[in-house]
Amino acid sequence: MEDKGMEDKGMLGVELSDQRLPEEKFFALRKKVLSEWPTGKDVDIAEAITYHNKLPGKKNVTAVLMRAASRGDILIQPRAGVTLLEEQIKLLRYLQDEGGADILPTTIDSYTRQNQYNAAQKGIEESKKMGRSMLNGFPVVNYGVAACRRLVETLDRPLQVRHGTPDACLLAEISLAGGFTDFEGGGIGYNIPYAKDISLEATITAWQYVDRLVGYYHEHGIAINRELYGTLTGTLIPPSISHVVGIIEGILAARQGVKFITFGCGQNGNFLQDIASIQTLHELATEYLAQEGLSDVRVTTVFHQWMGGFPPDEARAFAVIAWGAAVAALAKANKIIVKTPHEAIGIPTKEANAQGLKTTRQMVKMLEDQSIEQTDKLKIEKAMIRAEVAQIIDKVLELGDGDWAQGAVRGFAAGIIDVPFAPSRYTSGTMLPARDKEGAIRFLDFGNLSFDHQVKEFHREKIAERGRSEHREPNFQMVIDDVYAIGQGCLVGHPKVKAEVG
């Protein structure tokens, strides 16, 4: 896959618009998509719909998620993916039986994410020779529909695809035909944090294809959940930035016929801000969908435990995991993506992965009957997130002349939406976040974000307050300190604290 440099058309040669792909256009595009790798020929969407209809409800993510949401239960899910089919089955069965995962993942390898299927095939062959996984995930496209169904039929939990693919059209076709019932990602969240030179026009239109495919399944009675990757770079992401991206992706998905959407956000570390983030995410997603005439979409939320650097010591790592679980439980997120005590080391063992799940489950069960009071401080955090989201989205829609897809592209080009620490040249990278003295993420430099005077003054004062408490002028060093803080044993980066814990 390569960026064709098209300004008006995307990866599939489709005009950039937030309107639904006409069915005849969609099916014309499918011929091209399914011809990209030999396993595409095994996809028969009519037969796949029949196959899904025969699956029990316990193997459908949407059914499991909706049932849990109605009960107020919080689901837990790991990340996991290895190269060989039999090893993937063993790994997921262990996380199901020993870890108690409610939803099972299949994390996709990096070659597949970049549509390099020849390289993925070599990885499969090399893994067979070496007797161990030589890829960092499971290459679904190379294995095809039959292997996906082997996973679905062998396991007792529903399966979700987790990846990071700018162009996921063929991956979606094969995995959904194979019985997966949840597909993660979006045209912004799986571009800006993952790619350097791929345009947003290209990825937004590619993901509209994915969403139209999910919508087509729904029109024929099959509920497929779509989860949006709200953590972005996972590095000091202000909640409002994550929310704006999620809302845009959610509306673009719903316009293509998606009816079940899980909106995601990541743990930032400050208790009240994280609570406010989860709660406002559900509220704002629901409100903006309703404003667009899409109130029939069922909204759920997923909370990602800390996505930044972890302490290398396992005991300390468990504290980070437990803290994320506690926040999600008290904020009443619908699902938690669980980390492991091996995050600082690399790919975790299946045992470490199960330990993270058990730690999370214990914390969720301990807090299931408790709730968080809507204090004045919490209300202020929620009000600020709401104000920031509204001001960014208003400007995005103005730039797009009411079109969400055009507004997203133009908004990023103008710096109205900006994701920090991203590799993409399609985000300006001029906005800089830093923590205040209590660890909440604020804006050190607004870049071109379209905030009013009241919002800017709130953030300036919060950053200045930290500077006074640390006897230093707010500057870029604060940002650097904060990036490494949790991995070094604290939340707010400070030279003295770092020296003590080091």
Domain 23-367 listed as CATH 1.10.10.10: no
Beta bridge pairs of residue 300: 262
* Whole-number pLDDT of residue 15: 87
Percentage of the chain lying above the pLDDT 70 cut: 96
Whether 36 sits among the annotated catalytic residues: the reply is no
Q: Which of 173, 184, 227, 249 is catalytic?
A: 184
Instruction: Render pLDDT for 413-443 as a digit per residue (tens, 0 to 9).
Output: 999 999 999 999 999 999 999 999 999 999 9
SS3 of 9, please?
strand
Instruction: Render pLDDT for 317-369 as a digit per residue (tens, 0 to 9).
Output: 999 999 999 999 999 999 999 999 999 888 899 999 999 999 999 999 999 99
Whether 472 sits among the annotated catalytic residues: the reply is no
Instruction: Render pLDDT for 286-310 as a digit per residue (tens, 0 to 9).
Output: 999 999 999 999 999 999 999 999 9
Q: Which of 30, 113, 157, 466 is catalytic?
A: 113
Compute the chain's Rg from CA coordinates: 22
Which DSSP helix (H) or strand (E) runs through 433? strand 432-435
Pairing state of beta strands 335-337 and 75-77?
A: parallel
Closest CA to 314 of 286, 348, 337: 348
Instruction: Render pLDDT for 141-177 as a digit per residue (tens, 0 to 9).
Output: 999 999 999 999 999 999 999 999 999 999 999 999 9
**Cα(493)–Cα(499) distance, rounded to whole angstroms?**
11
* Domain coordinates in residue numbering, the chain: 23-367, 429-502
SS3 of 288, please?
helix
**Cα(287)–Cα(301) distance, rounded to whole angstroms?**
14
Which DSSP helix (H) or strand (E) runs through 190? none
Task: Return all residues near 74 (Cβ < 8 A) that are at least 6 apart.
Answer: 68, 328, 329, 332, 333, 334, 335, 336, 364, 368
Closest CA to 331 of 297, 385, 260, 282: 282
CATH of 429-502, one of 3.20.20.140, 3.30.70.360, 3.40.50.300, 3.90.970.10: 3.90.970.10
DSSP letters along 34-62, please?
Answer: HTSSGGGGG--HHHHHHHHHHS-GGG-HH
